[in-house]
Chain A
Amino acid sequence: MELLELFLKSIFIDNMVFATFLGMCSYLAVSKKVSTAVGLGAAVIFVMLVTVPLNYLLDQYILRPGALVWLGEDYGDVDLSFLTFILFIATIATMVQLVEMIVEKFAPALYNSLGIFLPLIAVNCAILGGSLFMQQKEFNNITEATVYGVGSGIGWFLAIVAIGAIREKIRYSNVPPVFRGLGMTFILTGLMAIGFMSFGGMLTGGDEAPKKEVVENVTPAEAVEVNEVATDSTALETVTDSLTQTVQE
């Protein structure tokens, strides 16, 4: 059950886009379409699945203070944590390269549809961020770390697809010129992030605390309740319509 809770938490509550805005640059600059968002998101999930557990092992057995104990007792004092950034990014760059080669060989159709995104992913903040947050959270075993990694990837995927869908639709709305495009995207992402905060009520807290509903002091701009991230167009249209109407006021 804890794993399921961790999984859901990393998708909806610690969502890498809406809680910490990771990985948005390349996406925002590159595309306004849902299809590219889906491709990019899929690639991210895959890379997270591969890199987070690997970096977890690196952290446990090499980087942590005292991690080198398995080499011998006298190595227990060694603290290599300062090498974290460099080793993590090296792992990520290498794994992305490997994944690219494997996908090209065994699934050329997938390789073609992912196109340029796969190499771009190595420098995507979301991937490095996922590993760094994993290190900070100090998981007990590799399963938890992997669940967190995959969950974060899925959360990122959902967020990017949702933003892409709204961006596609909003081109047909009357956005004030100064906000057209980038400005509106940021405001919208902010509003969606507020919506995602409502997921905080899913959590249970404290060891002996009863499961209560959290009513945080939040008044969203309009009561847009995002119960699931709806990827079907009708739900998104409703959201878009209500949002654009507000903007026009």
Chain B
Amino acid sequence: MSTKRTDSNGYTIIFSIVMVVVVGSLLAFFANFTKDLRVKNDQVKAQIDILSAIGVAADRSNATEMFAQYIKEQKVITGAEVSDDDKAYLIDVKKEMDAAKKGNTQRLPLFVAEKDGKTLYIMPVRGNGLWDAIWGYIALNDDLKSINGVYFDHKAETPGLGANITESFFTEDFKGEYIYDASGNFKGIEISKSNGDPNNKDKSDNQVDAISGATITGNGVGAMINSGIKSYLPYFETLKK
């Protein structure tokens, strides 16, 4: 076969350049075209998750509406300063925690909701499960002493075991649980295998029954809730006065 035109160096270079330009522009166009939808998807997901902590089931079609309906205030607590911020729900908790490790003050978002005439306080938490990160939202009742509801999610927990922290049979157990003990000390919640209260009737034992086969994930959840709520305690003290 005679040397094809396509084998020359010049042709190769021109072909490569054309290919890069065409592919690059095509992808950039497509990325831009879908960008708004993708950004909105992330925002809506955050809204759905926050609402689910107070027991409001929203879906992608009505999330923004319901978020506006239930969430009355969004605050950001930075050390001693508290400010209002309607983009607080978009704060990246992981970034904030990493920044805090480097010595910066962590920005803590807080959502004040109103449901059935009661004021509820929702805060994001984040921690480590067995395999990778776990996170969620904790909603406290207006007494700031008991839990109204929770939402959990995870990156890579074992399906059927650790992954079940998202299921209602686990999250329902948290409703009404006290995070303080009888003497008023902060206890948080312990995910316990030996609490003798599998149906979680006792709400003042500061314990929730663990999921069998998901011990480490459960421990991670407990640690996450406790350290998460602890960071908000100074602010809650100012509210209680």
- Taking Cβ atoms with an 8 Å cutoff, the residues of A that contact B are 13-14, 79, 82-83, 86, 137-138, 140, 200, 203-210, 212, 214-217
Contacts of B160 on A, CB cut-off 8 Å?
A: 217
The B7-47 residues at the A interface (CB cut-off 8 A) are: 23, 27-28, 30-31, 35
CB pairs A–B below 8 angstroms (22 shown): A14-B131, A138-B94, A203-B130, A203-B131, A205-B128, A205-B129, A205-B219, A206-B216, A206-B219, A206-B220, A206-B223, A206-B224, A207-B128, A207-B223, A207-B227, A208-B223, A208-B227, A209-B222, A212-B219, A214-B215, A215-B215, A217-B161
Is B23 in contact with A86, judged by CB distance below 8 angstroms?
Answer: yes
Q: In whole angstroms, how far apart are the Cα atoms of A206 and B217 in the complex?
A: 8
Chain B residues with Cβ under 8 A from A204's Cβ? 216
Q: In the complex, what residues of B have CB within 8 A of residue A200's CB?
A: 130
| Residue numbers in A under 8 Å from B224 (CB-CB) | 206
Tell me the bound Cα distance from A17 to B215 in angstroms.
26
| CA of A210 to CA of B222, assembled, Å | 12
Instruction: Report how far A206 CA is from B227 CA in the complex, Å.
Output: 11
Q: Is the CB of A140 within 8 A of B98?
A: yes
Smallest CB gap from A213: residue in B = B215
Min Cβ gap A51→B in Å is 21
Q: A14-B131, A137-B132, A208-B227 are in contact. List 12 more A-B contacts (CB 8 A).
A: A79-B31, A82-B31, A138-B94, A140-B98, A206-B216, A206-B219, A208-B223, A208-B226, A209-B223, A212-B215, A214-B130, A215-B213
- Interface size classification for chain B: 20 to 34
Shortest Cβ distance from B77 into chain A, in angstroms? Answer: 21
CB proximity of B16 to chain A, nearest CB, Å: 12
Tell me the bound Cα distance from A186 to B39 in angstroms. Answer: 41
Cβ of A203: which chain B residues have Cβ within 8 Å of it?
A: 130-131, 216
Q: Which residue of B lies closest to A208 (CB)?
A: B223
Q: Which residues of A contact B132 (CB under 8 A)?
A: 137
> Is B109 an interface residue, CB under 8 A from the partner?
no
* B127 CB-CB contact with A under 8 Å: yes
CA distance A216 to B31 in the complex (A): 42
Lowest 5 CB-CB distances: which A-B pairs, in order? Answer: A209-B219, A205-B216, A206-B220, A206-B223, A217-B213
Q: Whole-angstrom distance from the CB of A130 to the nearest CB of chain B?
A: 16
A216 adjacent to B161 (CB under 8 Å): yes
A residues in contact with B216, CB < 8 Å: 203-206, 209, 212, 214
Q: Does B185 contact A (CB under 8 A)?
A: no
Contacts of A206 in B (CB 8 A): 127-129, 216, 219-220, 222-224
Distance, CA A215 to CA B215, complexed state (A): 8
Q: How far apart sit A220 and B216, CA to CA, in the bound complex (Å)?
A: 21
A86 to B220, CA, bound (A): 37
Note all chain B residues with C-beta closer than 8 A to A13: 131
Q: Check: B212 CB closer than 8 A to any chain A CB.
A: yes
